[in-house]
Amino acid sequence: MEPTFDELLNKGDAIFKDKSVLSPHYVPETLLHREAELRKIMSCLAPALQGKKPSNTLIYGKTGSGKSICAKRVLQKLYDQKEASVSGVYLNCRVYDSRYKIVQKVVSDFDADVAKTGHSFSVLYEKVIDKLETESKHLVLVLDEIDVVKDLDTLVYTLTRANDDLKAGSISMVGISNKVTFKQKLDARSRSSLCEEEIVFPPYNALQLEAILSQRVPLAFRDNVLEQSGLNIAAAIAAGESGDARYALTLLLKAGELALSRGMKKVSDKEVEAARVAADEDKARELISSLPEHLQLVLYSLAVVSQDVQYKRLVEDDDGQKLFFSGEVYDRYSAMCKKMGKEPRSARWYREYLHELETLGLLISVHSGKGIRGQATLIKPVYPADKIRKVIEENLK
């Protein structure tokens, strides 16, 4: 018998009330354990409500530490003041990744027709300046993942210096980044023009994550579906993963979907553990897909070597897992590059690539011990070789 949508929708009712509550885009009515950070951001932007230019603000913190959700909440609080002279725009810089796209988006919020006509940057910039000056408007730009903007120096310099062109109104920037070293990417001129406040978001601990999950579970799941042990273990796992609240929410979502697919009526710690494996693989897939081409080729070469049944120089670690000579992986990488018509990077660059892949948690390296002549670096992939190959083959084909 063919399935129907009604059947699937009714099946979903057994586990979830509203999956969207577990999404990182959901903003709860109360943000737990971020009161101090909210107050700091609001203090930076409050001058706009008094007709003054707010401070530029940089927000740092690891993924899932609440940076974006707090910035969105502060923007909402600005809107709630119903102050006509204050305007705010939130932009995800993975979408709006250049100065032109960012200014075009700002203009589109003022006049959608103008933004669609393909004007030059200077024309769009003047449109923004004229709008702010004519209406004495104070514009707050929230730039999430600002560090991925391609022409970052030009963007920062343009936004910070725009106030020199304004006789009334202002532009201020709230930049959000996972990297505390973000400012080091800026040249001296951009850094000096920034004149910013800095706010660092600490990672959540296990108790804080339990509170955050407990706040959302009654809204996301049917009554008595999620066992308390499942919630506790999701919080504990995420606390061990740099205090990432997004990861904790993802674990509960995947655990619920897994229980649903199995026709279960409860979600326990077993489903959360299984969801952890699936979430880690999804995370690895996303990470590998975002790597530069030569990093992918190095990782792919390691995966190929680790599956080579002809590989003779077998070395094992303390857990009995195979280790592979980095020099042989480099030879495979060089041969693969030449086959693809690409110039392989030097051995020095290759060592840098290995270090970066290890930092990202995609491989493990150890120095050779007894029984091996000379000094050698031995490496192994963290994830199954067949899955690494599949992801990279899809990217590079």
Q: Where are the domains of the chain?
A: 35-201, 204-288, 291-396
Find out whether 344 and 312 touch, Cβ atoms under 8 Å: no
- 35-201 matches 291-396 in fold: no
For range 35-62, the mean pLDDT: 94
Q: Is the model's pLDDT at 115 over the cut of 90?
A: no
Report pLDDT for 394. 86
> What one-character-per-residue DSSP string does 159-227 give?
HHHHHHH-SS-EEEEEEEES-TTGGGGS-HHHHHHH-EEEEEEPPP-HHHHHHHHHHHHHHHB-TT-B-
Which residue bears the tokens 């660092």? 200
Report pLDDT for 372. 53
Report pLDDT for 359. 87
Give the rounded distance of the alpha carbon of 230 from its chain centre. 25
Q: Is the model's pLDDT at 12 over the cut of 60?
A: no
Cα–Cα distance between 236 and 234 in angstroms, integer? Answer: 5
For range 63-79, the mean pLDDT: 94
Report the range of poorest mean pLDDT among 47-61, 206-220, 316-330, 380-394: 316-330
Q: Is the model's pLDDT at 280 over the cut of 90?
A: no
Quick one: CA dihedral 242, 199, 89, 123, positive or negative?
A: negative
Domain 291-396 grouped into CATH 3.50.50.60? no
For range 31-55, the mean pLDDT: 94
Q: Indicate the residue type of 59.
A: I
Query: Could you tell me the two tokens for 42?
Result: 């609001």
SS3 content of the chain, % helix, strand, coil (to 5): 55, 15, 30
- For residue 370, what pLDDT band results from cuts at 50, 70 and 90? low
pLDDT tens digits along 281-320: 888 888 899 899 999 999 999 999 998 867 666 677 666 6
Cα–Cα distance between 112 and 123 in angstroms, integer? Answer: 14
Q: What pTM, to 2 d.p., does this model score? A: 0.76
Where does 262-361 have alpha helices with state H? Answer: 269-289, 293-306, 326-339, 347-359
- Quickly name the fold that domain 204-288 has: Helicase, Ruva Protein; domain 3 (1.10.8)
Report pLDDT for 9. 62
Q: The domain 35-201: what is its CATH number?
A: 3.40.50.300
Which residue bears the tokens 């920037």? 173
Residues sharing a CB contact under 8 Å with residue 58, sequence separation 6 or more, in sequence order: 174, 175, 176, 177, 182, 183, 194, 196, 197, 198, 199
184-209 burial: b if 16+ Cβ within 10 Å, else e? ebbeeebbebbebbebebebbebebb
Find out whether 159 and 173 touch, Cβ atoms under 8 Å: yes
Which residue bears the tokens 């304004």? 166
According to DSSP, the β-strands at 138-144 and 86-92 are: parallel
For range 369-373, the mean pLDDT: 54
Calculate helix-pair angle for 293-306, 385-396, nearest 10 degrees: 140
- For residue 41, what pLDDT band results from cuts at 50, 70 and 90? very high
Report pLDDT for 354. 94
Q: Indicate the residue type of 250.
A: T
